[in-house]
Chains A and B, each alone.
Chain A
């Protein structure tokens, strides 16, 4: 038995130099019979073979992707969605692949998709494992502000070969955004806004959240915009000090909204805040506001109208 004198030090090097080349070999070629129109890159820089025609079996790995696919008229081609995908209501009858962070690879494979649309929030390791099965996976990065919405829609349109419909949808949304901008032009007033997420504690949207961008475009100032986070816990004393003119509560139902408003108003000191005194506490649809999809423009419209009733007319 003669072993070298420095085993523990020598081993890692030995193994690296022996490096087994088997690892990458097992991916079987699949992806449709037709050769791809061209190979483009997804938002992570991974190559993606662009199909020649609109895919017929699409798996969506996020609620906002599902929503955009439906808006592009592809609803009947979606074969799998996450358990959080609930808009539009037709999604309820589509098979579920699991959640955002725990999608099930085996179920995705069993749906035999010809396109899997994922986003940056899905665990990358799982997404890559799906890609290694030979399925065409496109990963989307979701931008910070509202200006990323139309490019996202156009990107999904490109991948699903519905470029025209996507361009039309994006143009419509851009038009509505510009209309809101021009309606607010000349308005010097920028009411201070506090966003409350319905639930335990005073959770709000910080400067990193696109909701912050929504408030700005709707002609308001988010009092929590200085917090460098997407979601943040706000302090009661800070709300009293900032004295917001308007409070929006993101709620799933009118009942939740009423409960959230009453709980907020019961907190000592809050009754003296401007928004409470003037009664400008409003509901926003949590479902629409929490998905980075076309309905954000609806939310923006409602927000702008509530912040500047003189420019838009009273929506309620």
Chain B
């Protein structure tokens, strides 16, 4: 199978799975609904079915797709940025920093919603970006620009943020359900407002990353080589770091920390369609969104009570990843 047909097959399968995922999401849930119910609703809408199909299920599916796309794109960018297959939004500290902000906001009773985020969501977003800025500033001062410095500073800052998060949750033992939400993620509270808040930024980052994909390809050859070939390396790096941080912080702000998507989905895609960044970015976004859509389906339908989605992403993602890895060899 040539790379080109492989890519076509990948796209056809992904698009089909994605559409099927949306249809299944619309039709399944704790309240039993049949395709017939949906058709009747389309012909003569009533308030209860509108709330269930559109306000609850569809908004949730769209949000899960967007967050999956954002996380996978963020991971794909960071893996290229660090030229390191282990990179994901956790290594620069965004995820941990964002959950720290959310938990702090909860502990301090900061509830006021603004800009389409809840209070803790807004704090998550700001502290996620804040911690990346801090990591970046600290790394810059250590003479020039070394990738390892950012990576290690990010890991250290993330570990510190995680420790503080656990500390605050421990101090407030009554906020267990909040803790689970911020540490393992959930789309239970999805609403169209959140979709509207993050959708433009996800789209913007996707287009920008496609536009800069060629520069990312050059970075793979080493910074000096890329510079010699005419790529404005420092600016490209800044733009990519900012985009990946923005995507991850937005995701945490609406749905809590969801691990594994950013790490694993870009690898799947790379194994299936090759390393060219332009198609890698687009395909990662599609595959990540589809993956999280199905994970959320499991999270809300597997048991009578909802499961945190972080449990599903790791439990489903890891074995599938191992399978692909070994099949390739």
| Interfacial residues, chain A to chain B (CB-CB below 8 A) | 1-3, 5, 7-9, 11-12, 15-16, 19-20, 22-26, 28, 30, 98-99, 101-102, 104-107, 109-110, 112, 123-126, 129, 132-134
Contact flag A109-B51 (CB < 8 Å), given A98-B305, A129-B189, A132-B191: yes
Q: A16 — which chain B residues lie within 8 A by C-beta?
A: 115
Q: Does B242 contact A (CB under 8 A)?
A: yes
* Interchain CB contact under 8 A, B133 and A22: no
Q: B176 — which chain A residues lie within 8 A by C-beta?
A: 101
Q: Does B14 contact A (CB under 8 A)?
A: no
Complex Cα spacing A23 to B122, Å: 13
Contact flag A3-B238 (CB < 8 Å), given A105-B188, A123-B178: yes
Complex Cα spacing A217 to B153, Å: 60
Among B111, B197, B242, B305, point to the contact of A102 (Cβ < 8 A): B305
Q: Does B132 contact A (CB under 8 A)?
A: yes
Q: Does B224 contact A (CB under 8 A)?
A: no
* Interchain CB contact under 8 A, A133 and B129: no
Complex Cα spacing A112 to B49, Å: 10
Question: Besides the contacts A20-B115, A124-B111, what 11 more A-B pairs have beta carbons closer than 8 Å?
Answer: A1-B212, A8-B245, A11-B129, A23-B193, A98-B305, A99-B305, A104-B30, A106-B29, A109-B52, A125-B189, A129-B191
Q: Determine how close the nearest CB of chain A comes to the CB of B318; give it in whole angstroms.
A: 26
**Closest chain A residue to B118 by CB distance?**
A125
Listed by A's residue number, 23 A-B pairs whose Cβ atoms lie within 8 Å are A1-B212, A5-B238, A7-B239, A8-B245, A11-B242, A15-B115, A15-B125, A19-B115, A20-B115, A20-B116, A20-B196, A22-B196, A23-B116, A23-B193, A23-B197, A24-B193, A98-B305, A101-B177, A107-B31, A109-B48, A129-B188, A129-B189, A133-B51
Q: Does B326 contact A (CB under 8 A)?
A: no
**Closest chain B residue to A22 by CB distance?**
B196
Q: B200 — which chain A residues lie within 8 A by C-beta?
A: 20
Q: Does B192 contact A (CB under 8 A)?
A: yes
Give the size category of B's interface with A: 35 or more
Complex Cα spacing A123 to B174, Å: 11
Among A9, A124, A132, point to the contact of B133 (Cβ < 8 A): A9
**Can you list, as one digit per residue, whether each of B80-116 has a CB less than 8 Å from chain A (1) or not (0)?**
0000000000000000000000000000000101111
Q: B235 — which chain A residues lie within 8 A by C-beta?
A: 1-3
| Interfacial residues, chain B to chain A (CB-CB below 8 A) | 29-31, 47-48, 50-52, 55-57, 111, 113-116, 118, 125-126, 129-130, 132-133, 136, 176-178, 181, 188-189, 191-194, 196-197, 200-201, 212, 232, 235-236, 238-239, 241-242, 245-246, 304-306
**Closest chain A residue to B46 by CB distance?**
A112
Contact flag A26-B30 (CB < 8 Å), given A9-B133, A106-B52: no
Complex Cα spacing A11 to B197, Å: 15
Contact flag A3-B245 (CB < 8 Å), given A30-B47, A107-B31, A123-B177: no
Q: B232 — which chain A residues lie within 8 A by C-beta?
A: 1
Q: Determine how close the nearest CB of chain B comes to the CB of A228; give it in whole angstroms.
A: 14
**Closest chain A residue to B176 by CB distance?**
A101
Q: Determine how close the nearest CB of chain B comes to the CB of A185; give it in whole angstroms.
A: 38
Q: A134 — which chain B residues lie within 8 A by C-beta?
A: 51
Q: Determine how close the nearest CB of chain B comes to the CB of A79; give it in whole angstroms.
A: 12
* Interchain CB contact under 8 A, B197 and A8: no
Complex Cα spacing A133 to B51, Å: 7
Q: A125 — which chain B residues lie within 8 A by C-beta?
A: 118, 178, 181, 189
Q: A19 — which chain B residues lie within 8 A by C-beta?
A: 114-116
Q: A101 — which chain B residues lie within 8 A by C-beta?
A: 176-177
**Closest chain A residue to B191 by CB distance?**
A132
Complex Cα spacing A126 to B190, Å: 10
* Interchain CB contact under 8 A, B56 and A109: yes
Complex Cα spacing A20 to B194, Å: 10
Q: A1 — which chain B residues lie within 8 A by C-beta?
A: 212, 232, 235-236, 239
**Closest chain B residue to A133 by CB distance?**
B51
**Closest chain A residue to B239 by CB distance?**
A3
Q: A28 — which chain B residues lie within 8 A by C-beta?
A: 47, 50, 55
Q: Determine how close the nearest CB of chain A comes to the CB of B135; give it in whole angstroms.
A: 9
